[in-house]
Amino acid sequence: FTVAAALMLRRAIPASSQVLVGKPEGIEPFGERFLLHKVRVLHNLKGSPIQSPVIRVVQIRGITPHVEPGRPGPRLYCLRPLGADADRLGLPGDRQPYYRLNGQQGSHPRLDPATEGANPAVDPLVALTQALVAGESGQPLEKTRDQLLALVMHPDPIARFEATMALAEREALHRRIDMVRMSNLLNRCAGETNDLVYRIALAELCATTKNHGVVEALCLGLDRIEDLGYARSAGRSAGYVAGDRGTEILNPRIRHVGSDAERGRLLVMLGASGADSGLKLLMEHGRSRPNTPMLREALLANGRPQAVALAKRLPSKASATPDASTPKRPTSRPTSGSTGG
């Protein structure tokens, strides 16, 4: 499970030459190959001015992606102009301008109906778009940082995930987060046990500072967080933050924890950290305590040849318990009313 690949709106925005809020107004078939999605432009957020109130987004049947028809309400459109390709494809000149979707996952979301009004930023994904576009256009980094940090705390699951990852992926932004605010983010990471994808994103953001306390915070809640996907992601963050020192933090917890399930998740976290000392400890477990629950998953999470070879030789009791699922990324939003609630 790779959190960074879960949603890509934060990457689609800078990769698109035109970003706008639009309202679908029907589909016009053209020949056997094309569907022309008629879109009324509500707010142009990035790109050249659009003179026409209506644009067409071109879908080639069976090739280019598009949302399913019949879903009313405004949406965010990350677009690229079709330009001269429209003539090459034989599209009618009286229905220009033509665009195609960016196509990256999460780059065409439904928005709050209130975005049809004068202030589209009532929807947090529009606010995210405006912050990133302004950042591209020379807005002071501190202002972009503050806008994204506000969205990190937003209740909308997609907006807060995208904002958190946008900060984590941009060094110029996360290095400007002061210690007080980073400490608040670390506390939020430690306390979040419901939205695991969000927690992992927070962990990645906190890990960029390599500050004391990150590994300890990642361990909190493992008695209740059953998804091994979280344990693997937390382990990778621990390895980045602390290296072999992470083993010194995890080993006492592994030895003294109360339940086999939590011990197993800590072992998976240790394996995923990639630390040499962690691998040595797992290999010792494999030789002296081969029936340890989830030891196989811990060795596979480490991924080194000797760890994988040992995992294949372990008895079945060393496999994961039935709670070893994977965190689900946020894929849906409320269909009416405010997306923030």
pTM of the predicted model as reported, rounded to 2 decimal places? 0.82
User: 258-309, pLDDT tens digit by residue?
Assistant: 888 999 999 999 999 999 999 999 999 888 888 888 899 999 999 999 999 9
| Residues 330-336, mean pLDDT to the nearest whole number | 53
Taking Cα atoms as reference points, which of 118, 146, 162 lies closest to residue 333? 162
Beta strands 34-46 and 54-60 are antiparallel
User: 178-233, pLDDT tens digit by residue?
Assistant: 999 998 998 898 888 788 889 889 988 988 887 778 888 888 878 888 888 889 98
Contact 204, 213 (CB under 8 A): no
pLDDT exceeds cutoff 80 at 22: yes
Strand ranges inside the chain, DSSP E: 18-30, 34-46, 54-60, 75-81, 98-101
Per the rule left: phi > 0, alpha: psi between -120 and 50, beta: everything else, 103 is left
